[in-house]
Structure 1
Amino acid sequence: WNAAASGLGADGIVESLVRYSKYDVPGNIQADVRDYVSRFGRLKLRQGAAGELLLTSDDPLLMLEVSRNRKLRPLIREEIDQYTVRVDSGLRGHVKKALVDIGYPAEDLAGYVDGAGLSLHLLPAMRSAGQPFSLRHYQQDAVEVFHARGSVHGGSGVIVLPCGAGKTLVGMGVMEKLQTNTLILTTNTVAVRQWMDELHDKTSLDPAEIGEYT
């Protein structure tokens, strides 16, 4: 479903599995992939005219099925019609998790509220060593896919790259795209300091603009 959310279709996923698998991919696995991918996006999260969070579907029977499910039912605030229900906007993540558990992950087209602006750009050379610096092509590609030209299709997701491939740099590239205050959560204090060092070394941010909460 993450692959489907990134724009990959069932044929592309199966083709990749067949190409890179050491052994033949069983037919039932290929059928499962096609079934799972077909479920993505049949439900959509959208923003209503008054800013409310709506769950919609072109299939009234599917909407009836999921709206009666015990995992989603407590999160529904109003049944608008057979195609639309209003869900709790403060529990958006819970709604999406419930739909994944049910087996029909929603395509999230609700967008996001703009954060406070913060002007920054990536430096052409690192402060520490003075060496030229720029994102590699695959890092820039990851930034563009994540940002999705600022449309409702972008702004969230998981960046998957091998260890040492520069996921931190991708994150800084996204920050440059968004030009907004950013909360960076890490698993430990060491990682916090590494982020702070990288931001100071490779962006135009002043140390006073980088806060730490540990």
Structure 2
Amino acid sequence: MSTFSIYPPRPEALRSPSRATPESPGCQRRHTLPASEFRCLSPEDAVSVFEIEREAFISVSGSCPLFLDEIRHFLTLCPELSLGWFQEGRLVAFIIGSLWDKERLTQESLTLHRPGGRMAHLHVLAVHRTCRQQGKGSVLLWRYLQHLGRQPAVRRAVLMCEDGLVPFYERFGFCTVGPCAVTVGSLAFTELQCSVRGHARLRRNSGC
């Protein structure tokens, strides 16, 4: 599968306070990074991804869904199943997924990518600590589901979460399929799935 990227329009080059025109002597165009862009991640983004994830999860549960070598593993095998939100070149939120080929998640699904699978397993969604409580997780998840809906091989999305997060994911069309067979230490999870075929055309109507 080819990598799919979403790039909002780039802002126009900024003018200096003197309002000099490009033809003015000594005037140089200021090169700026995009104010905001969504794109698939690459192995080069792995360290930035892990720094955000480590702060978000270890402080709460003492463990991470993915460690650095696992992040590099998935971003090498299936970068098209990831999506990062960058602001002025800095990663502020991300989702990493892989393909899965069974009806339900198993312990193996935490570390494997099954290229023949039709289900996108969302391993982790995380937002940088300085950008939380701003709705960024909701916006990114909508973008990601629309992104999956444009990939012919993907039919459904699946994830596991703690019970307190179930209502959040239900807003995006996920339905509970039951307790997840996967456990991490003493933590138990609920498994949710949703169809992604209609998300490419859906209007954002969740209030995010």
What is the TM-score normalised by the length of structure 1? 0.28
In proportion to residue count, which structure has more helix?
1
Q: Which has the larger radius of gyration?
A: 1
In proportion to residue count, which structure has more strand?
2
